[in-house]
């Protein structure tokens, strides 16, 4: 079964109110000429339209299709669905203020990521290499893994990884 097409910006504007300054979404009332629409208005009109998806992001269900709230915000504000990935500049996936959203490539989006939870060294791009019994420094960018060498001291590996990330344009949030 084919996925239902995305609603047009005009259709969205009839269903959802977006506040660009706060990043909040609210259901708009429907024309109440039938009982189901009156019931819908009583239950939903004026109430929050987005909900968490379990991965930290918010989604909005429109026409039996869930859409990511940050993509809906972009569409409502700019009048077209984004063709690229949307990045939350401050790293908070629930902050859908238009000033916090930008179009980006997957590579640039990854440069704005937080330290992965699986990281055990406490620093991005630094890990313990068991066989060599040394600290390893590395950076991943544009789908490539760049090895920065092995170090006796963890602080030297951290310095090497931070310097390379700065050179490649990673955000400040990626440092720790």
User: For the segment 79-99, what is each residue's pLDDT rounded down to a tens digit?
Assistant: 999 998 999 988 899 999 999
User: What CATH number is attached to the domain comprising 83?
Assistant: 3.90.75.20
DSSP letter for 175, please: G
Whether residue 2 lies inside any domain: the answer is no
Q: Which long-range contacts (CB under 8 A, 24 or more apart) does 101-106 make?
A: 101/70, 101/73, 101/74, 103/74
pTM, two decimals, is: 0.72
> Do 61 and 131 fall into the same domain?
no
Look at residues 66, 85, 69 and name the one whose alpha carbon lies nearest to residue 17: 69
pLDDT above 60 for 142:
yes
Q: Tokens 């004026």 identify what position?
A: 46
Q: Tokens 């980006």 identify what position?
A: 104
pLDDT above 90 for 121:
no
| Predicted pLDDT at 16 | 95
Among residues 45, 78, 104, the one where a domain terminates is 104
pLDDT above 70 for 175:
no
pLDDT above 90 for 169:
no
> Do 78 and 144 fall into the same domain?
no
Look at residues 113, 122, 117 and name the one whose alpha carbon lies nearest to residue 140: 113
- Proportion of the chain in helix, strand, coil states, percent, rounded to 5: 30, 25, 40
> Do 34 and 67 fall into the same domain?
yes
Total structural domains within the chain: 2
């Amino acid at each position: 079964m084919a996925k239902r097409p995305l609603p047009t910006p005009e259709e969205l504007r009839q269903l959802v109110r977006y506040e660009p300054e706060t990043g909040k979404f609210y259901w708009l009332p429907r024309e109440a000429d039938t009982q189901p629409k009156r019931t819908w208005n009583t239950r939903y009109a004026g109430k929050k339209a987005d909900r968490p998806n379990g991965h930290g992001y918010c989604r909005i269900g429109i026409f039996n299709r869930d859409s990511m709230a940050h993509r809906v915000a972009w569409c409502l504000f700019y009048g077209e669905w984004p063709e690229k990935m949307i990045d939350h500049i401050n790293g908070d996936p629930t902050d859908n203020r238009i000033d916090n959203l930008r179009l980006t490539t997957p590579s640039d989006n990854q440069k704005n990521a937080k330290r992965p939870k699986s990281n055990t060294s406490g620093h991005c791009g630094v890990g313990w290499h068991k066989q060599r019994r040394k600290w390893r420094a590395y950076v991943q960018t544009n789908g490539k893994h760049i090895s920065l060498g092995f170090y006796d001291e963890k602080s030297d590996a951290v310095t090497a990884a931070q310097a390379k990330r700065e050179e490649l344009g990673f955000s400040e949030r990626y440092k720790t």
